[in-house]
Chains A and B, each alone.
Chain A
Amino acid sequence: AQSVTQLDSHVSVSEGTPVLLRCNYSSSYSPSLFWYVQHPNKGLQLLLKYTSAATLVKGINGFEAEFKKSETSFHLTKPSAHMSDAAEYFCVVSPYNQGGKLIFGQGTELSVKP
């Protein structure tokens, strides 16, 4: 069965320091992987996606993620946090041949301190 585990429910960083949000997945076949961000009372916005091309994926707002098949991980990073990055982040798997259905992680809340 496919699943997604976000290893931290809450991460707190200081403005200007690096961000690391961890995600492990389980999938029988090569899945598509996504990171979404959600600000309070808003919908989800796509940050980046991996679909079996380059393993290092660059997204919007300076975020990037690296697909590591051997570790079944897809961690999200950003070199320098900004106050506007404070939000909920979801790691998402789209299993192969499942009609576009998505499997969501539980989410990681990112806090950014001044």
Chain B
Amino acid sequence: DGGITQSPKYLFRKEGQNVTLSCEQNLNHDAMYWYRQDPGQGLRLIYYSQIVNDFQKGDIAEGYSVSREKKESFPLTVTSAQKNPTAFYLCASSPGGTGDQPQHFGDGTRLSIL
């Protein structure tokens, strides 16, 4: 079955530590996205990529970094500069960045601070 796989499901970060969240898709989609979800809020866009080797900052990119070396993979690194990283992180993909095509979501990674 095609879909998006996020790992791990739960992740804990120590102070001053960088952590990387994995996102892999086998849908052959060009565009991929990372969102942050906090309780009682909608999703906020962190970074997005419309094509391999290219990505753009979203609304809350500070303290995060990404790479897009392969079409299937779009890992997100939460750096020590992100002072409030506790949240639910969701990865999504879509066939293209035209806006009329819905995004497909993974099941998320929940990040907490130790």
List the interface of chain A (C-beta within 8 A of B): 4, 9, 31-32, 34, 36, 41-46, 49, 51, 90, 94-102, 104-107
Contact = CB atoms under 8 A, between A and B. Distances in A.
Chain B: number of interface residues, binned into ranges: 20 to 34
User: Chain A interface mostly helix, strand, loop or mixed?
Assistant: loop
A106 B108 contact: no
A107 B100 contact: no
B100 to A, nearest CB: 5
Interface of B: 4, 6, 31, 33, 40-45, 48, 50, 56, 58, 88, 90, 92, 94, 96-108, 110
Given A90-B42, A106-B42, A43 B98 contact: no
Given A90-B42, A99-B50, A107-B42, A46 B102 contact: yes
A99 B104 CA distance: 16
Given A43-B106, A100-B96, A106-B42, 7 more contacts: A34-B102, A42-B107, A43-B6, A43-B107, A94-B99, A99-B56, A104-B43
